[in-house]
Amino acid sequence: MICLLCGNESHVLPSWRRLFCNDIEETVCKNCKGRFEKAGPGCRKCGLPGEEECRDCREWETTRFRGVIHSGRSLYVYNDAMKAFLHQYKFLQDAALSAVFAADLNSALKKEMAAVVPIPMKRENLKERTFAQVDLALEAAELPYVHLLHKTGGVQGKKNRAERMAAEELFAWNGKAVPKRIILVDDLYTTGTTMRHAAKVLEEAGAEEIRLFSMIRAY
């Protein structure tokens, strides 16, 4: 195997599990993978390591978004290695890196009895970046998904906490049938604005249980 991140050759020993359980093979070496920090136990709604319910999630529960999120988790936290990865994947448009966390995604979501719904990109951003990073990561992980939303609102990155919580609707339902149970997937969770706006629309469209899943949780 040639590591997607460092380009070095890494020998992967065959395993019975990979042969008979159809597990996704790793695409990065142990050295590169070890630079990423896994998210440990933490907030039951967003996966932030530490408290059972983080400050942001407590604040969200005082707004019109109260109760829209059943639970949530994250795979990794946002450290320097993850920052470099996201820059290369999203902004340098290195689509091959969609496979870096494919094994982790597949292991985490393949047995879920819920519809996987990726957060959509705004049309202008998709045209600029040439691919939808969340969709491509799910495809690399061999996970089926369905789009139920389209993006309508603007960028949230330059807004403060109060402005994000008071933001106008960021998404609209696309009219497809909405399953009762949904796992909403995004690459990076920061304040929770994007996820909760998306979840609110899906709840109003008929979803009864919405869980969050992010590849990366920012501090």
Domain residue spans of the chain:
39-217
Q: What is the pLDDT of residue 91?
A: 85
Give the helix/strand (H/E) hosting 42: none
Q: How far is CA 189 from the centre of its chain?
A: 7
Average pLDDT along the chain:
88
**What does each C-alpha distance from 174 to 126, 148, 212 come to in angstroms?**
17, 5, 20
Of all residues in the chain, what percent carry a pLDDT higher than 90?
Answer: 71
Write down the architecture of domain 39-217 according to CATH. 3-Layer(aba) Sandwich (3.40)
CA gap 50, 42 in Å, rounded: 5
More confident residue, 13 or 2: 2
pLDDT at 166: 61
Residues 104-141 pLDDT 10s: 999 999 999 999 999 998 877 766 667 899 999 999 99
pLDDT band at 14 (very low <50, low <70, confident <90, very high): low
Tens digits of residue pLDDT in 135-153: 999 999 999 999 999 998 7
Distance separating alpha carbons of residues 203 and 165, to the nearest angstrom: 18
Q: Is the pLDDT of residue 206 over 90?
A: yes
Q: Spell out the alpha helix ranges (H) of 110-175.
A: 123-129, 133-140, 161-165
CA dist 205 and 203 (Å) reads 5
What distances in angstroms separate CA 52 from CA 73, 149, 194, 203, one per listed residue? 11, 29, 21, 24
Query: Who has greater pLDDT, 91 or 123?
Result: 91
- For range 90-94, the mean pLDDT: 88
Better-predicted residue by pLDDT, 185 or 163: 185
Burial of 124 (0-12, 13-18, 19+ CB in 10 A): exposed
* Cβ-based neighbours of 164, under 8 Å, separated by 6 or more: 156, 191, 193
**pTM of the full structure:** 0.88
Q: What percent of the chain has pLDDT over 70?
A: 86
Q: Is residue 88 pLDDT above 60, yes or no?
A: yes
Averaged over 97-103, what is the pLDDT? 95
Do the bridges between strand 149-151 and strand 71-77 make them parallel or antiparallel, or are there none, so unpaired? unpaired
pLDDT of 19 above 50: no
Burial category of 2 from C-beta neighbours within 10 Å (exposed 0-12, middle 13-18, buried 19 and up): exposed
